[in-house]
Amino acid sequence: MGNIKRISFLFIVLSLGFQAQAQRCGACIIKGDIVTSYEYSFDKRYEMNSVMKFPQAIYVAHYLDSCGISLDQRVTVKKQELEQNTWSPMLKMIDVEREFSYGELLALSLQQSDNNACDLLFKLCGGPRDVQNYLRSLGFKKIRLKWTEKQMHSKPQRSRGNWCTPSDMAELLNWFYCERQSSPVLMYIWDLMLNCETGNNRIKAALPSGAQLAHKTGTGFSKDKTLRGINDVGIVVMPNGDYYPIAIFIKHTQREEEVAEIARLLLSP
């Protein structure tokens, strides 16, 4: 996982507001050879929610490259076979059936967080266990995928089975940035994440002027119609070319702007 020198700093929070946040937030950023972890909870595992579509995409790139499958190769999708009661912009694109390329499915999954597109990629390329096994082969042992979007939708409590630690997610982001030019599919994923259409009030709202962000958001199931998990992970590229992998996970929040507040702390000099 690179030549990163692991140096952790304990972040002491004096604000009562952030102390209240202490039991529900985990964040990590990598700056050069320094890994700064803001671990506010003894429970270091956080539900990924739709952030899991990022490690899935890393696996899909490996699968397509290994099998010699082009991003332009098309598959037929029948509307009646898709989940109807889920977040899925692709449903409006299909009358009865339609062909989609692998590239289009990745774009729908990563840029619009389409749950049906995500599950189609699981069906076509390999399920959660295949993704997890590949991640472990790369050395990432604290990112776990167990359930598909359909399986979580049927039993929301299953979302706890798809978890990661902020530090391992930041390390995976760092691996992705360093390896992205080794594969046209990885470069395509990079471009998709640079143009993610979700989470404008999260890390993106904390970016310094001129910085870019390649990222993937995640939003959990509402537990009482107001509180839910809100996540954002990505790579900040500064105007001078420096880059910072950053991963932020918040449990039980009402405001996605809290992600931006934490991102500003992490990105400050």
What is the C-alpha to C-alpha distance for residues 222 and 186, in angstroms, rounded to an integer? 33
Residue-level pLDDT at 143: 96
From the CA atom positions of the chain, what is the Rg in Å?
18
Q: Is residue 181, in this structure, part of any structural domain at all?
A: yes
Count Cβ atoms within 10 A of the Cβ of residue 144 and give its class: 0-12 exposed, 13-18 middle, 19 or more buried.
buried
Catalytic residue, chosen from 50, 109, 113, 159, is: 50
Q: Is the residue at 257 inside a domain?
A: yes
**Residues of the chain where predicted confidence (pLDDT) is lower than 50:** 1-22, 42
Model pLDDT, residue 20: 41
pLDDT at res. 226: 64
11 lies in a domain?
Answer: no
Question: Quick one: pLDDT at residue 50?
Answer: 96
Q: Is the pTM of this model over 0.85?
A: yes
The answer to whether residue 176 sits within a structural domain is yes
Q: Is residue 87 classed as helix, strand or coil in its secondary structure?
A: coil
* Distance (Å, whole) CA 145 – CA 127: 9
Residue 239, domain extent: 16-267
- With respect to residue 231, please indicate whether it lies within any of the assigned structural domains: yes
Annotation marks residue 50 as catalytic: yes
Say if CB 216 and CB 110 are below 8 A apart.
yes
Number of domains in the chain: 1
pLDDT of residue 65: 98
How do residues 138-175 score in pLDDT, each as one tens digit? 999 999 999 999 999 888 889 899 999 999 999 999 99
Task: Name the nearest CA neighbour of 134 among 45, 61, 46, 30.
Answer: 61
